[in-house]
A and B are shown apart, each in its own frame.
Chain A
Amino acid sequence: MSKPDLEVIKNHYPGTPEWIKEMGEKTIASFKETGADLKKQFGTEDPNKLGQFVYERLIKYWQEGPIVVMVWEGPNAVAISRKLRGHTIPLLAQTGTLHAQYSFDSSTLSSSLDRVVKTFVHASGSRDEAEREIKYWFSEINEFKSYKREVDKLYLK
């Protein structure tokens, strides 16, 4: 459990112009999915501006309280984490996923309340992203000393 500084959270994301644009495009797509009026809400439809706006709100959300950062290991750990977490936007997540079980937050609800969607679990999106993020958050650990688990015997032998 930790409460990272603003800079630490900011640098968790790539933050490049391309990435910011992608964030804006994702926001546009999620508004389309729910049929909400983007321009009315943000006053712009430019993905670059929208991305920057969402980025800033996202950082603010991360700072609302302490966070728990953890690393999971196993075959297909990245794909499994994403599957169990579900759709980024809780309202659109499939039942059985964490986002659907514990939240109903959506783009329209959150923007009407002037905040970002509370996507309460972040999970690395790809192996490359996972590698980068693990190095970033656990920079002091060179090698994770693994241990045996009960499940290993049943599935990994």
Chain B
Amino acid sequence: MKKQQALLIIKPDGVQRGLIGKILKRFEQVGLTVIGLKFYWAQKEKIIAHYPETEAWFKKVGERTLTNYVKKGLDAKKVFNTDDAVSIGKIVKFWLINYLQESPLFFAVVEGYEAIEIVRKFSGNTIPLLAAPGTIRGDFSHDTIDLANEQNRPLRNIIHASDTIEDGEKEVNLWFKKDELFSYERSEEEFMFK
């Protein structure tokens, strides 16, 4: 089996609440290898490029949002003025772009077997209120869409984690140069995987 790479971004609420160490600890603890780290105010253009501009991506995000609205018994049409998944996906992207410019961002690339599945599992449902306990979003936040809408602000969900192997590759390449990534072996690999 081949190792995978996943990008993690600790978003402004995670940074400003001082959660960087607590979050990174969880990925280190499970056994993923941190192979790249950086911390800075990201440029708007880079953030725009981070989220795909494709119809398929907008649809995926829109549908995910719609499903969550149904779960919470909310009327998506009232918030977005539409119930079309693609249009909703576009609005969500606009929110995200503003949100990610509120403070410096902490970027980490983690590597390991099944890294993508692990980072998704550990991050939890994108809406913190719906995220299971034991996940980063479930343990450190209870933010939810209706509250965010009421206060006219983006939903703050602490962390971004790559969704698929392909996204992982694309995102790692966007934020990190080749010479900013370091391959090395963690001491427990000898006992676990050999």
Taking each of B16, B17, B18, B34, which has the highest tally of chain A beta carbons within 10 Å of its own beta carbon?
B16
Given contacts A66-B182, A147-B103, contact A1 B36 (CB under 8 A): yes
Instruction: Answer yes or no: A113 CB below 8 A from chain B CBs.
Output: no
- The CA-CA distance from A149 to B17 in the complex, in Å, is 6
Instruction: Answer yes or no: A65 CB below 8 A from chain B CBs.
Output: yes
Residues of A within 8 A of B35 (CB): 1, 66
Q: Are A1 and B17 in contact (CB under 8 A)?
A: no
Residues of B within 8 A of A147 (CB): 15-16, 103-104
Q: Are B182 and A1 in contact (CB under 8 A)?
A: yes
Task: Classify chain B's interface size.
Answer: 10 to 19
Instruction: Answer yes or no: B37 CB below 8 A from chain A CBs.
Output: yes
Q: Are A1 and B18 in contact (CB under 8 A)?
A: no
Indicate which residue in B15, B16, B103, B180 contacts A1 across the interface (CB closer than 8 Å).
Answer: B180
Chain A minimum-CB-distance residue to B19: A150
Instruction: Answer yes or no: A68 CB below 8 A from chain B CBs.
Output: yes
Interface positions of A from 1 to 40, Cβ below 8 Å from B? 1-3
Instruction: Answer yes or no: B184 CB below 8 A from chain A CBs.
Output: yes
Tally of contact residues, A, Cβ under 8 A: 13
Instruction: Answer yes or no: B51 CB below 8 A from chain A CBs.
Output: no
Instruction: Answer yes or no: B39 CB below 8 A from chain A CBs.
Output: yes
- The CA-CA distance from A3 to B18 in the complex, in Å, is 26
- The CA-CA distance from A139 to B35 in the complex, in Å, is 23
Q: Are B18 and A65 in contact (CB under 8 A)?
A: no
- The CA-CA distance from A83 to B142 in the complex, in Å, is 34
Instruction: Answer yes or no: B41 CB below 8 A from chain A CBs.
Output: yes
Interface positions of B from 13 to 62, Cβ below 8 Å from A? 15-18, 34-39, 41
Residues of B within 8 A of A2 (CB): 180
Return A153 CB to nearest CB of chain B, in Å. Answer: 11
Return B149 CB to nearest CB of chain A, in Å. Answer: 23
Indicate which residue in A66, A70, A145, A150 contacts B18 across the interface (CB closer than 8 Å).
Answer: A150
Return A71 CB to nearest CB of chain B, in Å. Answer: 9
- The CA-CA distance from A112 to B61 in the complex, in Å, is 58
Indicate which residue in A3, A70, A148 contacts B16 across the interface (CB closer than 8 Å).
Answer: A148
- The CA-CA distance from A145 to B40 in the complex, in Å, is 9
Q: Are B39 and A70 in contact (CB under 8 A)?
A: yes
Taking each of A1, A2, A3, which has the highest tally of chain B beta carbons within 10 Å of its own beta carbon?
A1
Return B49 CB to nearest CB of chain A, in Å. Answer: 22
Q: Can you list 21 A-B contacts (CB < 8 A)?
A: A1-B34, A1-B37, A1-B38, A1-B180, A1-B182, A2-B180, A3-B182, A65-B182, A66-B35, A66-B182, A66-B184, A68-B37, A70-B39, A145-B41, A145-B104, A148-B103, A149-B16, A149-B17, A149-B18, A150-B16, A151-B18
